[in-house]
């Protein structure tokens, strides 16, 4: 039952944001009583935290999968963006803002994930790209990893970008990020993968 509750909460938070979804509504959608939910979760904070933990685990699996099946470092980034785009299309833009304002413990877990796991993944990709001759050898991987993380999360700022065009923004930012650090060999691969994406 706790898995069903978790999955339904995740689905509803993603679609409507966190603040606008009550425990009553989750219970109604599952056809159970709110009391049943409280047998598994002491409060909404605990449920949100569990949803974030699950999302972090899934994200780590996605990153590992992209790395395993990628032809090269650039392809890994393109695969990751493709995966992110699917999520973004289904995600309510208010979700991250709700998390930061009303669920600080869960938000801290996401921030830790962002600056530890994601930073390591990006730095690893940058180093591999250098070794493959796709990224310029003189780039500072630490600075660029932090820059990359900042730009990824910037797309959720409705004051900067239109929230209904997040996927386009992510692709545009990623393409130009890659062009900025790629060698001539890398640039040819970027163009190849962009052409493949445009044909889909």
Domain tally for the chain?
1
- The 3-class SS string of 109-177 reads HHHHHHHHHHHHHHHHHHHHHHHCCCECCCCCHHHHHHHHHHHHHHCCCCCCCCHHHHHHHHHHHHHHH
Domain around 193: 44-199
pLDDT bin (cut points 50, 70, 90) of residue 109 is very high
Name the token pair of 195: 């052409």
In a domain, 118, yes or no: yes
pTM: 0.86
In a domain, 192, yes or no: yes
In a domain, 170, yes or no: yes
Q: List the beta bridge partners of residue 135.
A: 182
The reported pLDDT for the residue numbered 185 is: 98
Residue 90's alpha-carbon distances to 28, 139, 199, in angstroms, are: 22, 35, 22
CATH number of 97's domain: 1.10.357.10
In a domain, 109, yes or no: yes
In a domain, 3, yes or no: no
Name the token pair of 69: 């099946």
* Average predicted confidence (pLDDT) for the chain: 91
In a domain, 189, yes or no: yes
Q: Could you read off the pLDDT of 148-175 as tens digits, one per residue?
A: 998 888 877 767 776 667 788 889 999 9
Is pLDDT above 70 for 120? yes
In a domain, 74, yes or no: yes
In a domain, 37, yes or no: no
For residue 16, report the phi and psi dihedrals to the nearest 5 degrees: -115, -5
Cβ atoms within 10 A of the Cβ of 15, count? 13
């Amino acid at each position: 039952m706790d898995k069903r509750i978790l999955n339904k909460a995740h689905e509803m938070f993603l679609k409507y944001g966190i603040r606008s979804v009550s425990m009553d509504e989750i219970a109604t959608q599952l056809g159970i009583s709110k009391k049943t939910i409280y047998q598994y979760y002491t409060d909404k904070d605990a449920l949100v935290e569990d949803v974030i933990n699950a999302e972090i685990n899934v994200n780590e699996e996605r990153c590992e999968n992209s790395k395993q099946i990628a032809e090269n470092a650039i392809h890994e980034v393109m695969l990751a963006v493709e995966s992110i785009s699917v999520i973004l299309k289904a995600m309510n833009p208010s979700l991250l803002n709700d998390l930061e304002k009303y669920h600080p413990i869960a938000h801290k877990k996401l921030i830790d994930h962002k600056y530890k796991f994601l930073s390591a993944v990006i730095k690893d990709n940058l180093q591999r790209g250098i070794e493959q001759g796709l990224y310029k050898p003189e780039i500072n991987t630490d600075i660029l990893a932090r820059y990359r993380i900042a730009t990824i999360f910037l797309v959720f700022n409705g004051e900067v970008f239109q929230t209904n065009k997040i996927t386009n923004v992510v692709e545009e930012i990623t393409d130009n990020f890659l062009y900025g650090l790629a060698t001539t060999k890398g640039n040819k691969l970027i163009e190849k993968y962009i052409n493949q994406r445009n044909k889909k």
